[in-house]
Amino acid sequence: MFLIKKIIAAFVLPPGCLVLALGALAVYLWRRTRPAAIACGVLAALTWLGSTKVFSDALLLPLEGAYAVPAKPEGDVIILLGGGARPGKHFSAAEGLAPASLERAAAAAELHRRTGLPVLASAGKPFSEVSEASLAAAYLAEAGVPAKFILTEERSRDTFENAAFTLEICREKGFKRPIIVTSAYHMPRAMLLFKEAGFKDITPLPVGRRAPGGLAPAFNDLLPGTNSETGRALNEYLGLLFYKAYYSFR
């Protein structure tokens, strides 16, 4: 009964219902115009494949495996990169942070507890009235990080600007060995941009891995629309391609 429920849900909700619609259309068109039927069948297969966790894990693993978590992170400042925020009023600062931001902020708070290093939260407000950095700072304060150890950079709208604007602050404060805290899938792009911005001695601290390697896929991972992170992974690959091209032709 459990598996039947999962299968039904996968094909009733998007994108599974689109897979069924395209498959039905392919069957209907088969005797009328086979090229169109084949096109619908291919689209159905690609939609199914692209929305499975198995496929998104295959895309995420190279990104998340690029940098390991250091056994003993060392540096002189923790740079916390934003990963999205939720609009509206909230009971706690944690509620104002999107899941990726909360994972990063929690790791930065723990890293401060272990090292005593200041935390520089970097993220502006590209799509909201309140900067992500201010929300992250509020969370850090809730988590016990003293105000004197919390810095913010609230102008940046993307990772490129994160690197440029935090470099200005680090030079002003005399920080030379940052520990970058961001999601594991985002770390390759962050490291590329921070190095190109002028940071020399960087320690990466990737968090929030979404594609644990070495595990056999569960049955549910083969169904369409089941916790797929395909869009997130493709965004990172496109970002890496864009900035590598940008720096090679600059």
Q: Tens digits of per-residue pLDDT, 92-125?
A: 989 999 999 999 999 999 999 999 999 999 999 8
Q: What is the domain partition of the chain in residue ranges?
A: 1-52, 71-207
Q: In which residue are the tokens 């970058």 written?
A: 180
Question: What is the chain's mean pLDDT, rounded?
Answer: 91
150-153: strand order across its sheet: 150-153, 119-122, 77-81, 178-183, 203-207
* Conformation bin of residue 227: beta by default, left when phi > 0, alpha when psi is -120 to 50: left
Residues 6+ apart with CB under 8 A from 25: 37, 40
Mean pLDDT across 39-53: 91
Q: Given this model, what pLDDT does residue 89 score?
A: 83
Average pLDDT over residues 226-248: 87
More confident residue, 114 or 225: 114
Beta strands (DSSP E) in 9-156 are 77-81, 119-122, 150-153
Spatial distance between the Cα atoms of 182 and 185, rounded to a whole number of angstroms? 8
Segment 128-158, tens digit of pLDDT = 678 999 999 999 999 999 999 999 999 999 9
Q: Is the pLDDT of residue 172 over 70?
A: yes
71-207 CATH: 3.40.50.620
Is 139:97 a contact under the CB 8 Å cutoff? yes
pLDDT at 53 over 80: yes
